[in-house]
Structures are given as C-alpha cells and as structure tokens.
C-alpha cells in the first residue's frame, strides 16, 4: 500500500485491529478484528459493526473526505451558481445536502454545505471528487490537517451532548477539544460528524471510545448502512451522466431556484421534472438470499448501481436505475446474477427507516 495517503488516525486503526484497504487514494479501515475490551463490545467484521451502529454507536473515520471553506461577502450567492440548492436561504448554524451539477444536468459531486455564520460556508465533499470539486469552485480554500469523524447510532446523542437538531451545525468543544460538529451522517441513524484538528483526532477518538456503547466501524459497514438508508454513493449511484431527477434527488432543488432554474443544467432538469426522466433510481429487493452486486444487469430495464446484503433485514438489497415505465413500486424485475435470472421487485427506499432527530 505504498503511495497511499493516510488519515490522522492511521496508526490508531492499525492498533485496534483494522484491515486497511486502498480507497480513493487513502489507506482506510474496511473492517476490524477487535481484541481486548473492544472484543467484548463487538466481535468485529462488517455484519457486527453494522448491527452495533444500529443498536448502539459506531465511530467512523471519514478523514479522507474533502473539507473546505468558502469565505467572504456573497459566498452563498456565488455557490448558488454551481448548485441547485437554496444556499442564500441557509441560516447560520444549519447544514444542507446539495449537488454540483454540470451543463447537462449531470452530477459532478454530492456534498454538504454548512453555514458557520460571518459569511463562512464549510463544505464536505467526496474523497474521490476532491480535486475536481476544488478546481470547479472558485475561491475555495481546502482545509488540510483536519480529521473528520462520524459518530453514528442511537447512543451518539447522549455521548456528544451538544444540543443540535438534524442538520444543525456548531463550532464547539467536545471533551475540551475544539471542533466543528454537525448532526448528520451517512447511516440513516441519528449521529454527528465532527471536524477536528489532525493533532487532536486521536485524543477525540479515544475519548469517544471511552464510552461503553462505542466501537470503531470500517468502510464495509458504512457502505451497508448507507445502502439500507437508501443513500447514494458517488461514482456508483451518481455520476456526471445522472441528473437530480433520475437520481430521485429533486428535493435538493430550492423552491426559489425552481422559479429561475439558474443552476448548471437547470433547463434540462426542469424539462425532466415536467416531462419525466428516461430512467429513475429505485430500490430493488431480490428474492432469495443471493446478493445482486453493482453492475448486475436488470433485464430490459437497466442496471444495479449498489447492491449487497442487508444485515438489518438479513436479506439482499440493491438500488439501481430502471427505465421510467418500470420504476413503479411493486414492479417485477429480472436480475441476471452470475448468468442466472433472479426475480426481484421494485421497492420504496429507505430499506430501513431513518431515525434522524429533527
């Protein structure tokens, strides 16, 4: 794993029994083989880490993601030239999910934008799209030497103890360590994302692990959790050829933005909203127990873009794109899994209900 970048928690992961894999140019933990007291909390592995997050709390290192600031008068207005979201209407202390779109209405990246007040916007973008995004957004200031941790699960709020509602954001201290914290995540659970100085990341991670309910969890569980929550993974469920309408993300378009459609690809997105998109992202429930993985063909309909096994439902789940006439809930599909036809059904998402605290 030479040439891979490391996160500020690299040594910490290895000490705790992580299996490290390359992901978006970083050495990242995919799962853990716990020993000692952590093994008493959780046996480790994707299934156990996933279920621990749903029942208690899991700590993810997501420091590979891109963090950046936009500052100065008029930053919200400037960012609105690149995204369909209402950024000018985003109040201080609030965060919003939005999309960078291209002239064809395709998605360059999906990202979080937080208003920290005083004309400061804090952005979190996908690791794999950092370079592209930062070149695309004028005046952006990438934040180096900052870790990003996510504490997710029903026990998270009691540990963090910062009074925020879902998508609230604050610059505060946890365990005496300064950090920027938002009540958000990528698991469908209540939880927090915590941006902290790289030098203090281990101290914060250790403090969080000091709570009986918490175990670290790797990218494997992060992926199965977000799939159960019906959340998109860039490069898989979203790319520069998928539009917000096709992806089922029209809710990100601000009400005011729907008057003017003045974001990149706005006319195309508007047309798809009025007249229908050629294909739509849907939830897919295969029958039987064999997972239908990414790339599985859906006969005469489309393709699976994310698929795997749901630990919560103890059954395979998937999402993918199908032609519009086959996107209705309950529609029967045929997946070609390893050359064999497998019946499946279009189902609503999320597969597991979100438990956000609004």
Partner 1 sequence: MAKKPADKRYTKDHEWVVLDGDIATVGITDHAQEQLGDVVHVELPELDREVAANEACAVVESVKAASDIFAPLAGTVVEINETIVEDPAIVNGDPEGEGWFFKLELDDPDAFEELMDADTYEEYLETL
The residues of the shown chain that bind partner 1, judged by CB under 8 A, are: 31, 45-48, 220, 224, 289-291, 293, 308-309, 311, 316, 338
DSSP 223: H
Q: How far is the CB of 291 from partner 1 (least distance, A)?
A: 6
CB closer to partner 1 out of 19 and 136: 19
Q: How many other C-beta atoms can be found within 10 angstroms of the C-beta atom of residue 117?
A: 12
Torsion of the alpha carbons at 30, 36, 42 and 45, rounded to the nearest 10? 30
CB closer to partner 1 out of 31 and 101: 31
CB closer to partner 1 out of 276 and 295: 295
Query: Residue holding tokens 């909203």?
Result: 273
Q: How far is the CB of 287 from partner 1 (least distance, A)?
A: 13
Torsion of the alpha carbons at 270, 273, 274 and 279, rounded to the nearest 10? 120
CB closer to partner 1 out of 45 and 142: 45
Residues in a beta bridge with 144: none
CB closer to partner 1 out of 180 and 224: 224
Q: How far is the CB of 1 from partner 1 (least distance, A)?
A: 15
CA proximity to 141, closest of 133, 129, 149, 150? 133
DSSP 87-121: -TT--TTEEEEEEEE-TTS-EEEEEEEEEEETTEE
Q: How far is the CB of 337 from partner 1 (least distance, A)?
A: 9
The span from the CA of 334 to the CA of 127, in Å, is 34
CB closer to partner 1 out of 32 and 263: 32
State the sign of the Cα–Cα–Cα–Cα dihedral 328, 330, 332, 338: positive
Residues in a beta bridge with 281: 321
Q: How far is the CB of 296 from partner 1 (least distance, A)?
A: 11
Q: How far is the CB of 46 from partner 1 (least distance, A)?
A: 4
Distances 113 to 60, 86, 179, 196, 245 between C-alpha atoms, Å: 20, 11, 16, 17, 20
Q: How far is the CB of 62 from partner 1 (least distance, A)?
A: 19
CB closer to partner 1 out of 60 and 122: 60
């Amino acid at each position: 794993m030479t040439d891979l970048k490391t996160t500020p928690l690299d040594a910490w992961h290895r000490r705790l029994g992580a299996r490290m894999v390359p992901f978006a140019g970083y050495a990242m933990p995919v799962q853990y083989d716990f020993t000692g007291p952590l093994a008493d909390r959780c046996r480790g592995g994707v299934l156990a880490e996933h279920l621990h997050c749903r029942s208690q709390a899991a700590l993810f290192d997501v420091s590979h993601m891109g963090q950046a600031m936009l500052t100065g008068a008029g930053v919200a207005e400037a960012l609105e030239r690149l995204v369909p979201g209402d950024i000018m209407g985003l109040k201080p202390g609030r965060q919003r999910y939005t999309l960078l779109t291209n002239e064809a209405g395709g998605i360059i990246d999906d990202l979080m934008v937080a208003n920290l007040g005083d004309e400061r916007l804090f952005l979190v973008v996908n690791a794999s799209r950092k370079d592209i995004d930062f070149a695309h957004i004028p005046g952006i200031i990438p934040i180096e030497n900052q870790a990003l941790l996510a504490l997710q699960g029903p026990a998270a709020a009691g540990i963090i103890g910062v009074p925020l509602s879902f998508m609230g954001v604050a610059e505060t201290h946890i365990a005496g360590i300064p950090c920027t914290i938002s009540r958000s995540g990528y698991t469908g659970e209540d939880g927090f994302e915590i941006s902290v100085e790289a030098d203090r990341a281990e101290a914060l991670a250790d403090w969080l692990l000091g709570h009986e309910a918490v175990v670290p969890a790797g990218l494997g569980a992060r992926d199965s959790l977000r799939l159960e929550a019906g959340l998109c993974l860039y490069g898989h469920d979203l790319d520069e050829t998928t539009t917000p309408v096709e992806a089922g993300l029209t809710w990100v378009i601000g009400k005011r933005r729907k008057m003017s459609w003045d974001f990149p690809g706005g006319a195309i997105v508007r047309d798809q909203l009025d007249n229908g998109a050629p294909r739509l992202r849907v939830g897919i429930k295969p029958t039987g127990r064999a997972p239908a993985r990414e790339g599985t063909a859906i006969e005469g309909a489309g393709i699976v873009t994310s698929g795997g096994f749901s630990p919560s439902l103890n059954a395979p789940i998937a999402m993918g794109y199908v032609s519009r006439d086959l996107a209705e809930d309950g529609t029967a599909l045929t997946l070609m899994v390893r050359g064999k036809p497998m019946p499946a059904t279009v189902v609503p998402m999320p597969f597991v209900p979100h438990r956000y605290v609004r």
